[in-house]
Amino acid sequence: MIQGAWTQNMQTTINSTTLSLIKGDIIHEETDTIVNAANSRLAGGGGVDGAIHRAGGPKIMEECRRIGGCPTGSAVITSGGNLKAKYVIHTVGPIYQDGKHDEAKLLANAYKNSLALAVKKGIKTISFPSISTGAYGYPINEAAESALKTVMDFIKTNKGLSLVRFVLFSDRDFEVYKKTLAMLTA
């Protein structure tokens, strides 16, 4: 069942985990961890990545330098620095070319590996941005379906998470995710 206000919030419960969509800015999230749509060098950058590094302060970058890098589809974890979230999971989504270069598999792996790392670390609440849909050019409709299906499949078969939230920055992205979630839960 879908609940919540249709303009800024939408949620459903799967296997005792709440899956939520909100319109907002991920750097303000108070979940245990937020997910950073990082680059493979963990070097900071633009978009979500730059915003998280700016808000979180230099401690996150220091930890990223020690880790060294993260292959596409993988995930690593650092502290949250100055953020409200205790941790940041950094994952690297694919750069979209034409959909014929394993982009769908790599995008799904970015979500799966982030969730698996959260469960392994005992994290209960996690917030995701829309990975790869900014500078990496992944079409939002395809990305939303892949992201939501991947997360829903994970929480159907894994316990430990109480909340998985997607924080969508633009009205357009929020609307796409909202329509996709409604379709997937119909």
Supply the DSSP symbol for 167.
E
Helix (H, G, I), strand (E, B) or coil at 25: coil
pLDDT tens for 83-93 read 999 999 999 99
Q: Which of 25, 32, 49, 173 is catalytic?
A: 49
pLDDT tens for 37-53 read 999 999 988 889 999 99
Tell me what the pLDDT averaged over the chain comes to.
94
Predicted confidence band of residue 4 (pLDDT cuts 50, 70, 90): very low
Q: What is the pLDDT of residue 46?
A: 86
Helix (H, G, I), strand (E, B) or coil at 147: helix
The question of whether 171 is a catalytic residue gets the answer: no
Q: What is the pLDDT of residue 2?
A: 35
When pLDDT is averaged across residues 165-184 and rounded to a whole number, the result is: 96
When pLDDT is averaged across residues 16-32 and rounded to a whole number, the result is: 96
- 47: left (phi > 0), else alpha (psi -120 to 50), else beta? left
What is d(CA 56, CA 64) in angstroms, rounded to the nearest whole number? 12
Name the superfamily (CATH) of residues 18-185. Leucine Aminopeptidase, subunit E, domain 1 (3.40.220.10)
Model confidence, pTM: 0.94
Q: In the chain, where are the structural domains located?
A: 18-185
Cα of 25 vs its chain's centroid, Å:
12
When pLDDT is averaged across residues 121-144 and rounded to a whole number, the result is: 97
Q: What is the pLDDT of residue 3?
A: 37
Is 150:111 a contact under the CB 8 Å cutoff?
Answer: yes
